Amino acid sequence: MKKNALLLIPLFSLSLQPVWALTPEEKGLEIAQKADVLDTGWGDQKQEMEMILRNKQGQESKRNIRGRSLEMKGDGDKALSIFDSPADVKGTAFLSFTHATKPDDQWLYLPALKRVKRIASKNKSGPFMGSEFAFEDMSSQEVEKYTYKWLRDEKLGNSDVYVIERYPVDKYSGYTRQVVWGDMVMYQPLKVEFYDRKNSLLKTLTLEGYQQYLGQYWRPDRMKMVNHQNGKSTDLIFSNYTFNNGFTDRDFDRNSLKRAR
């Protein structure tokens, strides 16, 4: 399934409480569930990505990546990322099986060593391929991965947004909480603040250039992650989204890491 989450709830909950009586925690969960429902049913997708790594002095390095993902019923998505350039990372491949209620399974294929390395749960707060994205950021955002609290509704630029706080359930998460600004039309995030284990602001993610596919599903053209503690940032620029590619589980098994070219 996927994602950045929400379920269309009727005017009354199962307890017959009117919506206006929802607690902030109930309202936050409702928003997450609705976003999830609105982003369910896309099947599979692939896209190209340019990753721009930027150090504290503003110097840049770039990587080109191909990505594909498969939506799974009753669990999180499967995703494979393949690095095509530069030469020092060419052939590196990252495979992720997101799970809703148990730790994700993640593997990294390192062509120089010709071996597959499993990413341990305790290490998923570490940086993904030297970027400001953590391994745990590379998973689909399943509803069950968090508990929630609605904070407020407000404007972000020209967009009407809800602001919710979500708290990772995984004890090995690198975050104590995340604050999400979500668009009230798309039910997709426009900004996310990540707070570290000391509850200090660590990173801010902004998502821009959303476009709609298959008449329903919104995908961004750009994500920018800024690390406030080390001054570094990483951009992900997306292009050439395609859906209904006919992917199957075999395209996402561990052997697919070594087959990836």
pTM higher than 0.85? yes
What pLDDT, on a 0 to 100 scale, did the predictor assign at position 202?
A: 98
Q: Is the pLDDT of residue 186 over 90?
A: yes
CATH code matching the domain that covers 19-259, chosen among 1.10.645.10, 2.50.20.10, 3.30.300.30, 3.30.70.270:
2.50.20.10
Distance CA 134, CA 213 (A): 27
Q: Is the pLDDT of residue 48 over 70?
A: yes
Q: Are 182 and 203 in contact (CB under 8 A)?
A: no
Q: Place 130 in a pLDDT band, splitting at 50, 70 and 90.
A: very high
What pLDDT, on a 0 to 100 scale, did the predictor assign at position 114?
A: 87
User: For 154-164, what is each residue's pLDDT tens digit?
Assistant: 999 999 999 99
What pLDDT, on a 0 to 100 scale, did the predictor assign at position 261?
A: 60
Which tokens is 6 given? 């929400």
Q: Place 20 in a pLDDT band, splitting at 50, 70 and 90.
A: low
Distance CA 89, CA 11 (A): 52
Q: Place 113 in a pLDDT band, splitting at 50, 70 and 90.
A: confident
What pLDDT, on a 0 to 100 scale, did the predictor assign at position 13?
A: 40
Q: Place 18 in a pLDDT band, splitting at 50, 70 and 90.
A: low
What pLDDT, on a 0 to 100 scale, did the predictor assign at position 25?
A: 97
* C-alpha distance from residue 149 to each of 3, 6, 12, 84, 117 (Å): 17, 13, 19, 40, 36
Distance CA 88, CA 113 (A): 12
**For residues 184-212, average pLDDT:** 98
What pLDDT, on a 0 to 100 scale, did the predictor assign at position 253?
A: 87
Q: Which residues lie below 8 Å from residue 73, measured CB to CB, with a gap of 6+?
A: 1
Q: Place 10 in a pLDDT band, splitting at 50, 70 and 90.
A: very low
**For residues 188-193, average pLDDT:** 98
